[in-house]
Amino acid sequence: MTTTRAGNGVAAEAAELARRYAATASGATPAYQRVKDLVTGQIMSGRWREGDALPSESRFVEALGLSRMTVNRALRELAAQGLIRRVMGVGSFVALHKGSSALVEVHNIADEVSARGHRHRTEVRFVREEAAGQETGARFGIGEGTPVFHSQVVHFEDDVAIQLEDRYVHPDFAPGYLEQDFTRRTPFTFLSEVAPLGKGEHVVEAVLPSADECRILRVAASEPCLLIQRRTWSGEALVSVARLLHPGSRYRLMGTFDPR
């Protein structure tokens, strides 16, 4: 759970950082490495836990009497090592254990997050009816301009965005879709009830996020993302076409193969 530091805690935190930084002094160890050792020690000891916010760069600078360049280098290298993650315009956090999803199976992301012992929540960007474009119409086997349902939902693991779900749904197989509260249950859960899954298809590729996707997921433009394009059928009917975008630093796919 993300921690906050305010009021009298700020001065106490600064004093504690300075004390622990002084304890890292060893021979000719450069300052940036000492900052890295300080942060690593806090994490490995459990004082800073998975998902906790780190002090800001400014607070490190003030508490330790170092240049911003030195602190920035330390945090950049820790992020590159996967020990922390940096969110543009927000701050730095103790890295979460990267979430995993089965490669060949179709699961509810809320269940995956809960199975890891974390909290799932969603932010619904929109749920609406719109006219199918040429590509969407062709996929569903309907004419261009035919009404389809379209939803866009951001999934969070604790307070970290791990998936942008952009989904088109065939209205004939999902009555009531527009009336659902997808902050209470996921589109996957609803569709599983009204149009039980018959088969699914995944197409996986690595992409760079668009400017809008960077803003939604709070990632840098250079962050590689994992894109899963998923189609699901109920019986012989194609019910849903979804574009699932995951920041590469926060998600992975895994599968088990048995040659027998």
Strand, coil or helix: what is 55? Answer: coil
Question: What is the spatial distance between Cα 84 and Cα 54, in angstroms, rounded to a whole number?
Answer: 9
Instruction: Using alpha carbons, list the distances in angstroms from residue 74 to 78, 87, 127, 186, 208.
Output: 6, 15, 43, 39, 26
Question: What is the spatial distance between Cα 106 and Cα 101, in angstroms, rounded to a whole number?
Answer: 9
Helix or strand holding residue 164 (H, E) = strand 160-169
Q: pLDDT at residue 197 above 60?
A: yes
Mean pLDDT of all residues in 222-248: 92
pLDDT-wise least confident of 9-13, 21-25, 54-58, 167-171: 9-13
Contacts (Cβ under 8 Å, ≥6 apart) of 88: 214, 218, 219, 220
Give the pLDDT score at 6: 47
Instruction: Using alpha carbons, list the distances in angstroms from residue 196 to 30, 151, 188, 193.
Output: 60, 19, 10, 6
Task: Give the strand pairing for 251-254 and 99-102.
Answer: parallel
**Pair of tokens at residue 91:** 């701050």
Query: What pLDDT band is residue 89 in, cutting at 50, 70 and 90?
Result: confident
Q: pLDDT at residue 7 above 70?
A: no
Check: CB of residue 62 under 8 Å from CB of residue 14. Answer: yes
Give the pLDDT score at 26: 65
Strand, coil or helix: what is 43? Answer: helix
Q: pLDDT at residue 1 above 50?
A: no
Reported as a single tens digit per residue, the pLDDT across 39-56 is 888 887 778 888 889 999
**Pair of tokens at residue 112:** 């995956």
Give the pLDDT score at 246: 93
Query: What pLDDT band is residue 84 in, cutting at 50, 70 and 90?
Result: confident
Reported as a single tens digit per residue, the pLDDT across 24-36 is 776 678 899 889 8
Q: pLDDT at residue 258 above 70?
A: no
Reported as a single tens digit per residue, the pLDDT across 91-122 is 898 887 655 555 556 678 888 888 778 889 99
Mean pLDDT of all residues in 126-136: 95
Query: What pLDDT band is residue 231 in, cutting at 50, 70 and 90?
Result: very high
pLDDT higher at 95 or 136: 136
Question: What is the spatial distance between Cα 171 and Cα 184, in angstroms, rounded to a whole number?
Answer: 21
Beta-carbon-side half-sphere exposure of residue 34 (alpha carbons within 13 Å): 20
Q: pLDDT at residue 189 above 80?
A: yes
Give the pLDDT score at 259: 55
Give the pLDDT score at 2: 42
Mean pLDDT of all residues in 240-252: 88
Sign for the CA dihedral angle at 56, 84, 69, 39 comes to positive
Mean pLDDT of the chain: 85
